[in-house]
A = this chain, B = another copy of it.
Amino acid sequence: MFLRNSWYPAAWANEIQDGLLARRIIDEPIVLYRLTDGEPVALIDRCPHRFAPLSKGCKVGDHIRCGYHGLTFDSSGRCIDNPFGKGETPEAAIVPALPAVDRYGLVWIWPGDPNKADPAEIPDLSVIVHPGLEQFFENYIHVRSDYRLAIDNLMDLSHAAFLHEETLAPFTPDLQSGQFRVSRNDGRIKASIEMKNVELGQGALQDQWLETEWSAPGVIVLTLAQAEAGQPPANEAVRALHLITPETERTCHYFFGSAVDGRGALVRDPFVDEDEPMLAACQERMGDKDFWDLHPVILQNDAAAIQVRRQLEKMIRSEQPV
C-alpha cells in the first residue's frame, strides 16, 4: 500500500522530450509526455479498450494515439477520436490522468485525488536546484528493493563507514565518533551527524556536519558541511538530491543529482556497486515479509530512518477509508 496523495518525482525533466516515456510508479503503469507548449502530461499507460500500453503508440500534437487500434486521447485522458465505424467515442473511454508539473529539473506526478494536488506542496529544493545553477549532474538507478529500505539507507549514513569503506568513508573519517541527532520541522525529518576535530590532511583540524533531510514521499537533501574546528559551517557545503520513488512493492527508482562532480563522494559508482546490491540483498532476505514482522533491531543511529517509516505509515493510514 502506497501513499497516494503526494508529489512523486517521476522523471528528470530531460528524460521527457519529444517522445513517450513509460514508467511504473507505486505499481501503476504511467506514460509521460509533453504538450507542444512543453507542459508535462501523465496518464495511466493502459488503453481502456484492449489494455495496450499507450506508450507503444505515438503523440499526435497534444494528444496520444494508441498503437493498437488507433483510439486517440487528449491530455485529460478523454477519448477524442475513434477512427473506425461511426467514429463513436464511448463515454467510458477514459484514461485516468495524473496532475504533473515541472519543478527543480524534475517532473513530479500526483497519483492521488487530483483535487488535492497543489504544486505548492512540492518540497522546496531551491537550496540545491536554483536559477543560478551552472551545472547539475543527474543520475538514475533502478533499485531492487522496497523504497523504504532505500530511504533507510539515506537516513542512516553511518553505513558509509562500512559499506563505502573504500569509496566514500575517507571523506568523513571520524563518522564513528560522530554525534547523531534527529530533528523535525513541519513534516520534514532531518538526521544529522556532527563530527568534531577531524584530521582531513588540510592543516587545521576540521568540524564536519553530515545531514539528510527527508520530505514525503522520498525526497532527501544530503548536505556535507565543513569548517575549521570550532567555527560555524562554511556556506559552500556539498549538497546532493536523493529521490526515491516506489516502482513496485519490491523495486524503486533512485534519482540523484548534484552540482558537484568529480568528487568520489557524489559519483555514481558507490551507489551502483555498493548501495544497490546491498539493498537488493536485504530485500531478498526480507522476502515477502513485512518489515515489522521481522522484528528489526533498532539502533540509536537509525532513529531518523525509523521516524520516517512511522511518518509514512501514519500518512498512508490517514488515506484509508475509516
Contact = CB atoms under 8 A, between A and B. Distances in A.
B51 A180 contact: no
Nearest to A282: B51
Interface in A78-104: 79, 82-86, 88, 90, 92-93
Residue with the highest number of chain B CB atoms closer than 10 Å, among A52, A53, A71 = A52
Contacts of A178: 84
A71 B159 CA distance: 10
A68 B285 contact: no
A162 B57 CA distance: 9
Contacts of A86: 300
Interface stretch (A33-41, A42-50, A199-207): A42-50
B159 A69 contact: yes
Contact of A50 (B49, B149, B295): B149
Interface residues of A, number: 54
B297 A83 contact: no
B29 A285 contact: yes
Nearest to A86: B300
A294 interface: yes
A176 interface: yes
Given A149-B50, A278-B56, A299 B163 contact: no
Contact of A294 (B51, B69, B176, B278): B51
Given A51-B286, A93-B297, 11 more contacts: A49-B299, A50-B149, A52-B278, A53-B282, A53-B285, A66-B162, A68-B278, A69-B158, A70-B159, A85-B299, A88-B300
Interface of A: 29, 45-46, 48-53, 56-57, 65-71, 79, 82-86, 88, 90, 92-93, 149, 152, 156, 158-159, 161-163, 176, 178, 180, 278, 281-282, 284-286, 294-302
6 contacts: A46-B285, A49-B296, A53-B285, A67-B163, A83-B176, A90-B299
A-B CB proximity, top 3 nearest: A85-B300, A70-B162, A84-B301
